[in-house]
């Protein structure tokens, strides 16, 4: 394989300079309304001397708001005097998607979390992924990527890491999850790992931590508070900012298999039969999908394929065949 060409992205910040810098990752993007235009992705670097480096991202999906709300605030307020090492903050990673309020990019329909390792000569989304893959991830010791459910899902608020083949790496990630102190902490199973930022970071040996803090295409007061307190806790836990971790009670959840998920088999109107956090028994009807094209049709029953608690649910009132209807998680230890 020939060597990849350099990234077309130019940072306006210097990653080796002490102090606070607010700048951009500038990606040339020539288009009808701006011949020599760029996509300018906001970035903040807070550095003070040598020490560990954290890479913090929100807006990997453009319709999830707890991460951006926590990270624009952190970038505005973090004092380098309180830092040992480096904090790199990109509050809206898929910036075109974030500006459009959509999960994927309006430019190329790119889902950032399915675009890794990216391409320097690919689409806008692939070029951003490539820059993270080759320029930003290698700088980091700990990588924290905020997610929420977006417009189509709603979650109980949890911080999460993946079970990994490298148990030392896995243990560090779960320790950071514990420090985040969300109401729930998750040992996560993915249904579709190819192209994920998570996988890219983990394969580089980084400590990778993520969240699902709510959803519905908005943020709640409680979930924003969880995000803001949690990220400070993680930076304290990593020794990058001073002060003690503010521990809260967390309940550990596991997603042991694909049986966690249920999917709609028909289009219709969804009626949730249990609320987020409620206990669910295997075989229990967790949702019903009502046919709307005519009257007199019995609803499709969505039954839990395992016992646990309702960790996520389809958010909008209408659902389509193939949509994820519910996620059940098991409370552990
Ligand atoms: Zn997401």
pLDDT one-digit tens code per residue, 103-123: 999 999 999 999 999 999 999
Are the beta carbons of 177 and 163 closer than 8 angstroms? no
Residue 283 has pLDDT above 60, yes or no: yes
Mean pLDDT of 239-254: 95
Residue 65 has pLDDT above 60, yes or no: yes
Residue 154 has pLDDT above 90, yes or no: yes
293 CA distance to ligand 1 middle (Å): 32
Residue 308: predicted pLDDT? 98
Are the beta carbons of 286 and 280 closer than 8 angstroms? yes
How far apart are the C-alpha atoms of 333 and 252, rounded to whole Å?
A: 7
324 CA distance to ligand 1 middle (Å): 14
As a whole-number percent, the residues of the chain with pLDDT over 70 amount to 99
254 CA distance to ligand 1 middle (Å): 19
Residue 2 has pLDDT above 70, yes or no: no
Which residues are close to ligand 1, an ion, with C-beta < 5 A? 61, 64, 147
Residue 269: predicted pLDDT? 98
Residue 275 has pLDDT above 60, yes or no: yes
- Cα distances (angstroms) measured from residue 302 to each of 266, 281, 284, 317, 318: 11, 13, 8, 15, 14
Mean pLDDT of 55-61: 98
Residue 191: predicted pLDDT? 67
Q: pTM of the entire structure?
A: 0.96
Residue 251: predicted pLDDT? 97
According to DSSP, the β-strands at 300-303 and 251-254 are: unpaired
Q: Which two tokens stand for residue 18?
A: 């002490």
How far apart are the C-alpha atoms of 159 and 161, rounded to whole Å?
A: 7
How far apart are the C-alpha atoms of 303 and 182, rounded to whole Å?
A: 28
Are the beta carbons of 262 and 308 closer than 8 angstroms? no
Mean pLDDT computed over every residue of the chain: 96
147 CA distance to ligand 1 middle (Å): 4
């Amino acid at each position: 394989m020939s060597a990849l060409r350099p990234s077309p992205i130019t940072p306006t910040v210097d990653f080796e300079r002490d102090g606070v810098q607010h700048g951009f990752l500038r990606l040339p993007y020539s288009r009808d309304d701006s011949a020599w235009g760029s996509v300018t992705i906001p970035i903040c670097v807070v550095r003070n001397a040598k020490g560990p480096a954290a890479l913090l991202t929100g807006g990997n999906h453009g319709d999830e708001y707890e991460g951006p709300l926590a990270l624009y605030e952190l970038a505005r307020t973090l004092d380098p005097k309180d830092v040992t090492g480096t904090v790199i903050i990109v509050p809206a990673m898929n910036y075109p998607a974030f500006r459009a309020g959509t999960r994927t990019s309006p430019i190329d329909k790119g889902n950032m979390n399915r675009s890794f390792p990216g391409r320097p000569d690919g689409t806008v989304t692939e070029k951003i992924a490539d820059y993270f893959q080759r320029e930003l991830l290698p700088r980091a010791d700990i990588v924290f990527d905020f997610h929420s459910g977006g417009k189509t899902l709603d979650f109980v608020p949890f911080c999460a890491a993946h079970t990994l083949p490298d148990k030392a790496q896995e243990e560090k990630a779960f320790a950071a999850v514990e420090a985040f102190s969300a109401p729930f902490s998750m040992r996560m199973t993915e249904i579709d790992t190819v192209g994920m930022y998570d996988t890219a970071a983990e394969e580089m040996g980084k400590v990778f931590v993520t969240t699902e803090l709510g959803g519905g295409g908005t943020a709640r007061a409680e979930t924003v508070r969880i995000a803001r307190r949690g990220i400070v806790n993680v930076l304290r836990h990593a020794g990058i900012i001073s002060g003690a971790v503010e521990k809260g009670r967390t309940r550990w959840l596991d997603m042991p298999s694909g049986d966690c998920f249920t999917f709609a088999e028909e289009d219709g109107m969804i009626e949730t039969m249990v609320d987020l956090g409620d206990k669910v028994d295997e075989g229990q009807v967790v949702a019903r999908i009502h046919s709307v094209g005519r009257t007199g049709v019995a609803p499709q029953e969505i039954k839990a394929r395992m016992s646990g608690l309702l960790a996520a649910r389809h958010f909008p009132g209408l659902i389509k065949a193939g949509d994820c209807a519910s996620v059940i998680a098991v409370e552990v230890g």
